[in-house]
Structure formats: structure tokens, C-alpha cells
Amino acid sequence: MKSIRSVQAHILANDSGARRLSLDCSAVTSCDLTGIQLLAAAFRGFAESGRSLSVAGLSPAMEQALARAGLALSPAGDALICGEN
């Protein structure tokens, strides 16, 4: 089982100042609101430092957690957007 915490560990392990980081979240099997907050903070932190973060392979668990939070991943996977409820 992979959780959003493994995504956090990947972000921290690979945050060497690279201009761009891509995350494949297809193996994430659990995600809650805390995980979505982590993802939002990562997007914000990368944007504030002039870098980009993108997410691919959003797992059903992450899609459901985003929907519960009223959010969605942009079509390009490079931002969180407010979903329509």
C-alpha cells in the first residue's frame, strides 16, 4: 500500500532545486485531506520559488480526496483548481 506520505518523501528527496519535478501518483492507494493539503502546499512552494510541479497518473484514491475537498487537478497536471460542486 502506498500513501500520500510516500509522495511527500519523494518530493523531499528530489527537491534539489530542480526547475521541474514530476510525480507519478498512480500507485497511491490512500489519500485524505491531509494528503491534499500536502499536495497543495507542494504546488504553492514550487510556484513561489519559480519552479514547476506536475502530477500524472492520479489514482482513484487521490481523485476522490480531491473531489471531497472541492478540488481537481488541471488538465495539464500542473495545478490544483477549484472544482465545481
Residue 38 CB coordination number (10 Å): 17
Query: pLDDT averaged over the chain?
Result: 83
Please compute Rg for the chain using Cα positions.
12
- pLDDT recorded at residue 42: 85
Is pLDDT of 52 > 60? yes
Q: Give the pLDDT score at 2.
A: 61
pLDDT in tens, 17-48: 678 888 888 888 888 888 888 888 888 888 88
As a whole number, mean pLDDT of residues 58-67 equals: 90
Pairing of strands 71-73, 52-56: unpaired
CA gap 17, 35 in Å, rounded: 22
The residues pairing with 23 across neighbouring beta strands, listed in sequence order, are: 55
Q: What is the pLDDT of residue 10?
A: 73
Task: Check pLDDT > 50 for residue 1.
Answer: no
Three-class secondary structure of residue 37 per DSSP: helix
The residues near 59 (Cβ < 8 Å, ≥ 6 apart) are: 25, 26, 27, 28, 29, 31
